[in-house]
């Protein structure tokens, strides 16, 4: 009986350390596209000057509640990006955009989309991330 009581904490510790949260090492993926809208700078009111899918734009992913960026990728020629080999869990995907509400227009903001992978081989396509450049 004493041996069993001594082993219980070890069994609990082993079982809790095997559970893996969000991050790389799975079979799921998240993909999408980044779309840019460029506006005239002055005088306001500002007008839409051009819009297109963004090539070479950085897209970031955050794993669950972990601080910081888990990984980043650059968009392809058609504005598409993809994060592959993800495990089940919650993710935040974002790109940086000019803050159009700022007076100087020099600040950046995150354009964020939250998503949850519920199946180990799930393939999720997010709506376009629309940024101002």
**Contact of 126 with 93, CB cutoff 8 Å:** yes
* The pLDDT value given to residue 3: 53
* pLDDT score of 37 more than 80: yes
* pLDDT score of 10 more than 90: no
The CATH code belonging to domain 22-132 is 2.60.40.10
* The pLDDT value given to residue 77: 97
SS3 94: strand
The 10 Å CB-count burial string (b at 16+, else e) for 88-98 is bbebbbbbbbb
Give per-residue pLDDT as tens, 51-100: 999 999 999 999 998 888 999 999 999 999 999 999 999 999 999 998 87
Half-sphere exposure at residue 17, Cβ-oriented, CA atoms within 13 angstroms = 6
Q: Where are the domains of the chain?
A: 22-132
Residue 123 tokens read as 């393939």
Global pTM?
A: 0.79
Higher pLDDT, 33 or 45: 33
* pLDDT score of 102 more than 90: no
């Amino acid at each position: 009986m004493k041996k069993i009581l001594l082993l219980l904490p070890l069994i609990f510790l082993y079982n809790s350390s095997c559970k893996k949260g969000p991050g790389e090492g799975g079979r799921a993926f998240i993909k999408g596209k980044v779309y840019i809208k460029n506006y005239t700078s002055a005088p306001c009111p500002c007008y839409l000057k051009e819009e297109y899918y963004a090539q070479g734009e950085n897209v970031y992913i955050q794993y669950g509640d972990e601080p910081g960026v888990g990984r980043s990728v650059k968009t392809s020629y058609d504005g598409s990006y993809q994060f592959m080999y993800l495990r089940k869990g919650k993710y935040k995907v974002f790109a940086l955009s000019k803050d159009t509400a700022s007076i100087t227009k020099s600040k950046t903001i995150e354009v964020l989309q939250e998503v949850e992978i519920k199946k180990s081989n799930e393939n999720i396509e997010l709506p376009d991330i629309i940024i101002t450049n």
